[in-house]
Amino acid sequence: MKAIKSIGLFFITAMFFMLIGYLFGIRTRLPEGRDHGFSITDSLTLDQETIMPDQPSIALETEEPFVSFLDVSSESPFLRSDTEFILEEVDVRKGTVTELVERLPDRYVGMDRESFLEAMEEYAFAPPLSERKKGFIGLEVLSFSRDRVVVQKNYRRASPDDGFYLALVDYRVVVLFDDKKTIYMTTDVSLHMLPAQLQEDLADMIYVENEKELYDFLEAYTS
């Protein structure tokens, strides 16, 4: 009887362990990552739906077109050697205008608008003698861009038979037309550069008969 009980107990114990082994085997064959009712794939899908909309995609970043670079050949504020240099010479006595298209002088290449205006002011304040001979009285900058600069030079030209008067204004010699009022040109000749007798004569103005006599005088005291 004891032997039968031992065999029955052994059989029951064996069946119990076989059942546990079977159940454990089923557990180990289930798909990995299955937890709390959704898989790893489900988790990624949920993350994409809830997180990705807050992060701009590459497509969204490139939807707005890039701003292209400006064409420096037309928008650059600096003058170049190929900038068109136009001079408008105005005779204020006759009311005539002569337009000249010239090569931009090398000294202006690389200048911006402010620098060019300063250079023009210096030029107008102390024009070369060649300009004074033409009756230069001033200038204006009408247009400025990288491609084109327009400068208007004003002249009060004299006729070959015009006479002139030399006078003093602020201790500097100026040249007047024969009406003694209209300035033909200003000069760089200051009072202290002249002999004492000439200084006294200028107090009452000195008359010169023509341009040749005038420029002989100027060259003598500006050289």
**Number of domains the chain is built from:** 2
Residues 83 and 106 reside in one and the same domain: yes
Tell me the residue range of the domain where 175 lies. 164-222
In a domain, 132, yes or no: yes
Residues 175 and 143 reside in one and the same domain: no
User: Would you state the pLDDT for residue 24?
Assistant: 52
Tell me which residues of the chain have a pLDDT lower than 50.
2-5, 26-75
User: Would you state the pLDDT for residue 183?
Assistant: 82
In a domain, 60, yes or no: no
Overall pTM > 0.85: no
SS3 207: strand
Residues 147 and 183 reside in one and the same domain: no
Cα–Cα distance between 176 and 185 in angstroms, integer? 7
Cα–Cα distance between 175 and 162 in angstroms, integer? 12
HSE of 93, CA atoms in CB hemisphere, 13 A: 13
User: Would you state the pLDDT for residue 77?
Assistant: 81
In a domain, 9, yes or no: no
- Tokens matching residue 73: 């050949």
User: Would you state the pLDDT for residue 152?
Assistant: 94
User: Would you state the pLDDT for residue 160?
Assistant: 72
Cα–Cα distance between 90 and 198 in angstroms, integer? 34
Residues 175 and 109 reside in one and the same domain: no
Q: pLDDT digit string (tens) for 85-96?
A: 999 999 988 889
In a domain, 88, yes or no: yes
Residues 136 and 112 reside in one and the same domain: yes
SS3 188: strand
- Tokens matching residue 62: 């490139």
- CB 164 within 8 Å of CB 184: yes
For residues 13-43, b (16+ Cβ closer than 10 Å) or e, as one string?
eeeeeeeeeeeeeeeeeeeeeeeeeeeeeee
In a domain, 192, yes or no: yes
Residues 99 and 134 reside in one and the same domain: yes
- CB 189 within 8 Å of CB 221: yes
155, 175, 199 - which closes a domain: 155
In a domain, 189, yes or no: yes
In a domain, 89, yes or no: yes
Give the end-to-end CA distance of the chain in Å, rounded to a whole number. Answer: 151
99, 128, 155 - which closes a domain: 155
